[in-house]
């Protein structure tokens, strides 16, 4: 073979090797960049939940869990006796008080999830004690730790750690594969938020004819104005210990009274509502100057029982309140336009503040409310007393 041929072949081999090397490197780079994106997204997600938690934690009272150190005698009864366990949705069984609730259920052929094998790690054996909680022996240290992490209320117990000296009526809380996943993941990202019933004041506030404004202006201006508006009214909400639950376009839902130690929720909500109405002038003077329009808003408040807790898909859990009081507050806000009033409150809200002499009220409406039967009394809020 000629020398030129050998040189040519070597050159071709070198080029192929070079191309191969470049190809492998580009693959590696691609992999690295997607890993980086993933880390970035995860960080964003974590930052988001930390931020949410920090904001929310300002409003929730801390639940104190007694760090009881109990002897095995206190957590495991020695004197054997028969007790009755009434398992809702299954059967009543005669049980042995020296065995845990979980052991008793399993011995009686009642299914009770126990993913960690009864070691106080998974919480899938959780039960709610409907009657006889006073018969349950105190939580041991392992159960106390897990209850704290999962924010369990007093009546939620781990069947694998709980012994009872008397009869109980109970319900199992983890029933299928999806329940197991939810139970195990709960409290992993950050401390779980308690699920409970609370008496709160719920405020809804909405900009009237906002669609009109958004249709006639550039997206930049619409978002900018909304942020200016929320920033302005947010200060009033903040000053009155209101928790901004969510934004719904130009609407906002706010909870008052998450921390019962902070005073009358209705007073805070009404004060915030009046503050919002006053602060509207700041936004409107800007709007008049730059857009030749002004915002008109409606505010509605109801006061009553709601359920609070985190709901949603595991990657996007959201703390919120649900219940009739929430629906009612939204409907009351909807009535402001019809009654030509800026600010209406329900009768229960009115009753909780009327004797305090803090506010002046205007017209009283006896009206039907969409989606509700019967007539409801609504009160117009005018201003703080003495203004
Ligand atoms: S079985 Fe896992 S905590 Fe009870």
**Fold matches, 72-185 and 196-384:** no
Q: What is the mean pLDDT of residues 306-312?
A: 88
Question: Which is more confident, 149 or 358?
Answer: 358
pLDDT of residue 57: 76
Contacts of residue 311, defined as CB under 8 A and 6 or more positions apart, other chains included, come to 317, 318, 320, 322
How close is the Cα of 312 to the center of ligand 1, in Å?
Answer: 24
pLDDT of residue 181: 85
pLDDT band (50, 70, 90) for residue 133: very high
**CATH number of this structure's domain 72-185:** 3.10.20.30
pLDDT at position 153 over 90: no
pLDDT at position 72 over 70: no
pLDDT of residue 49: 46
Q: 226 burial class (0-12, 13-18, 19+ CB within 10 angstroms)?
A: middle
Of ligand 1's listed atoms, the one at least distance from the Cα of 161 is 4
Of ligand 1's listed atoms, the one at least distance from the Cα of 124 is 2
> Does the beta carbon of 329 lie inside 6 Å of ligand 1?
no
Contacts of residue 301, defined as CB under 8 A and 6 or more positions apart, other chains included, come to 201, 202, 203, 204, 266, 269, 270, 273, 329, 332, 344, 345, 346, 349
Tell me which range, 10-24, 87-101, 173-187, 194-208, is most confidently predicted by mean pLDDT: 87-101
pLDDT at position 65 over 60: no
> Does the beta carbon of 76 lie inside 6 Å of ligand 1?
no
How close is the Cα of 40 to the center of ligand 1, in Å?
Answer: 34
Question: Which is more confident, 281 or 209?
Answer: 281
How close is the Cα of 117 to the center of ligand 1, in Å?
Answer: 6
Cα separation, 147 vs 332, whole angstroms: 39
Of ligand 1's listed atoms, the one at least distance from the Cα of 121 is 3
pLDDT tens for residues 355-380? 999 999 999 999 998 888 899 999 99
How close is the Cα of 57 to the center of ligand 1, in Å?
Answer: 28
Q: What is the mean pLDDT of residues 26-44?
A: 53
pLDDT of residue 360: 96
pLDDT band (50, 70, 90) for residue 75: low
pLDDT of residue 37: 56
Contacts of residue 191, defined as CB under 8 A and 6 or more positions apart, other chains included, come to 53, 149, 151
pLDDT tens for residues 226-258? 999 999 999 999 999 999 999 999 999 999 999
pLDDT of residue 303: 98
Cα separation, 240 vs 259, whole angstroms: 12
Candidate from 103, 113, 118 with most ligand 1 atoms within 8 A of CB, to mutate: 118
How close is the Cα of 376 to the center of ligand 1, in Å?
Answer: 48
Of ligand 1's listed atoms, the one at least distance from the Cα of 116 is 2
Residue 190 Cα to chain centre, angstroms: 13
pLDDT of residue 134: 95
> Does the beta carbon of 115 lie inside 6 Å of ligand 1?
yes
Candidate from 115, 152, 172 with most ligand 1 atoms within 8 A of CB, to mutate: 115
Lowest mean pLDDT among 43-47, 50-54, 168-172: 43-47
> Does the beta carbon of 120 lie inside 6 Å of ligand 1?
yes
> Does the beta carbon of 158 lie inside 6 Å of ligand 1?
yes
How close is the Cα of 152 to the center of ligand 1, in Å?
Answer: 14
pLDDT of residue 55: 81
Report the interhelical angle of 265-291 vs 219-239 (nearest 10°): 150
pLDDT at position 294 over 70: yes
pLDDT band (50, 70, 90) for residue 43: very low
Q: What is the mean pLDDT of residues 115-120?
A: 92
pLDDT of residue 186: 75
Q: What is the mean pLDDT of residues 288-312?
A: 92
Mean pLDDT of the chain: 86
Q: Where are the domains of the chain?
A: 72-185, 196-384
> Does the beta carbon of 214 lie inside 6 Å of ligand 1?
no
Contacts of the segment 149-153: beta carbons below 8 A, 24+ positions apart: 149/187, 149/191, 149/192, 150/123, 150/186, 150/187, 150/192, 151/63, 151/187, 151/191, 151/192, 151/193, 151/194, 151/195, 152/126, 153/194, 153/195, 153/196
ipTM above 0.95, yes or no: yes
Of ligand 1's listed atoms, the one at least distance from the Cα of 125 is 4
Q: What is the mean pLDDT of residues 347-351?
A: 97
> Yes or no: is domain 196-384 CATH 3.30.70.1230?
yes
pLDDT at position 295 over 90: yes
Q: What percent of the chain has pLDDT over 90?
A: 59
Of ligand 1's listed atoms, the one at least distance from the Cα of 146 is 3
């Amino acid at each position: 073979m000629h020398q030129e041929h050998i040189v040519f072949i070597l050159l071709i081999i070198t080029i192929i090797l070079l191309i191969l090397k470049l190809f492998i490197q580009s693959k590696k780079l691609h992999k690295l960049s997607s890993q980086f994106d993933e880390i970035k997204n995860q960080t964003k997600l974590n930052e988001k939940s930390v931020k949410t938690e920090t904001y929310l934690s300002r409003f929730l009272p801390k639940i104190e869990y007694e760090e009881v150190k109990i002897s095995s005698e206190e957590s495991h009864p020695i004197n054997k006796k028969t007790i009755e366990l009434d398992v809702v949705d299954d059967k009543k069984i005669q049980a042995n008080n020296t065995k845990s609730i979980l052991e008793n259920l399993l011995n009686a052929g009642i299914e009770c999830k126990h993913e960690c094998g009864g070691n106080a790690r998974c919480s899938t054996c959780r039960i709610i004690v409907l009657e006889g909680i006073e018969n349950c022996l105190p939580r041991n240290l392992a159960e106390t730790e897990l209850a704290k992490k999962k924010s369990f209320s007093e009546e939620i117990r781990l069947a694998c750690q709980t012994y009872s000296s008397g009869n109980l009526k109970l319900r199992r809380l983890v029933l299928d594969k999806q329940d197991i996943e939810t139970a195990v993941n709960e409290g992993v990202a950050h401390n779980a938020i308690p699920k409970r019933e609370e008496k709160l004041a719920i405020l809804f506030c909405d900009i009237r004819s906002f669609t009109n404004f958004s249709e006639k202006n550039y997206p930049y201006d619409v978002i900018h104005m909304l942020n200016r508006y929320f920033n302005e009214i947010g200060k009033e909400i903040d000053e009155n210990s209101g928790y901004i639950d969510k934004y719904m376009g130009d609407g906002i839902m706010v909870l008052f009274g998450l921390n019962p130690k902070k005073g009358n929720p209705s007073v805070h909500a009404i004060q915030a509502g009046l503050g919002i109405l006053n602060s509207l002038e700041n936004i409107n003077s800007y709007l008049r100057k730059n857009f030749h329009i002004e915002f008109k808003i409606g505010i509605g408040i109801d006061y009553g029982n709601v359920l609070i807790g985190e709901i949603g898909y595991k990657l996007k859990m959201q703390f919120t309140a649900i219940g009739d009081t929430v629906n009612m507050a939204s409907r009351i806000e909807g009535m402001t336009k019809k009654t030509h009033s800026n600010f209406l409150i329900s009768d229960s809200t009115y009753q909780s503040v009327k004797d305090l002499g803090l506010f002046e009220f205007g017209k009283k409406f006896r009206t039907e409310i969409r989606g509700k039967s019967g007539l409801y009394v609504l009160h117009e809020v005018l201003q703080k007393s003495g203004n």
